[in-house]
């Protein structure tokens, strides 16, 4: 690995996900699931259309929303911290295709209430 590769890997580690790009990727994949891991009250205050709410504290309930462990799952929260934790938990549960897309605080698209 070259010095440039190491530097790129280092800076990629600190790069925050782009939720707007993540939602576009979600929309482009048939059968993908958009998972909001915020609390139900936060979800009711505004969420991305077609997202499913499974709070981080009860992430094991994702099984009721995401039936197949190979389904593409795009995970978001408010800022990206809980979604990062949720991705790790989902991977430990056997989900193979999960991605943290960040926080709705940076989302520029339409939200539902």
CATH number at residue 58: 3.40.250.10
Q: Is the pTM of this model over 0.95?
A: no
Q: Is residue 2 part of a domain?
A: no
Residue 53 structural domain: 15-104
Instruction: Please tell me the predicted confidence (pLDDT) of residue 14.
Output: 56
Q: Is residue 44 part of a domain?
A: yes
Distance (Å, whole) CA 38 – CA 36: 6
Task: Summarize pLDDT for 53-74 with one digit per residue, the tens.
Answer: 999 999 999 999 999 999 999 9
Q: What's the domain count of the chain?
A: 1
Q: Is residue 9 part of a domain?
A: no
Confidence class of residue 52 from pLDDT cuts 50, 70 and 90? very high
Q: CA separation (Å) from 13 to 9, 16, 35?
A: 6, 8, 22
- Percent of the chain predicted with pLDDT > 70: 87
- Residues marked active site are found at 77
Q: Is residue 31 part of a domain?
A: yes
Q: Is residue 88 part of a domain?
A: yes
């Amino acid at each position: 690995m070259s010095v440039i590769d190491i530097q790129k890997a280092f800076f990629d580690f600190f790069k925050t996900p782009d939720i707007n790009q993540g939602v576009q990727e979600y929309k482009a994949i048939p059968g993908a699931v958009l998972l909001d891991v915020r609390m139900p009250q936060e979800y009711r205050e505004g969420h991305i259309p077609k997202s499913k709410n499974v709070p981080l504290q009860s992430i094991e309930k994702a099984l009721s929303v995401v039936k197949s462990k190979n389904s593409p799952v795009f995970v978001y929260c408010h800022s990206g911290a809980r979604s990062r934790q949720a991705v790790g938990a989902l991977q430990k549960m056997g989900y193979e295709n999960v991605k943290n897309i960040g926080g709705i605080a940076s989302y520029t698209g339409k939200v539902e209430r």
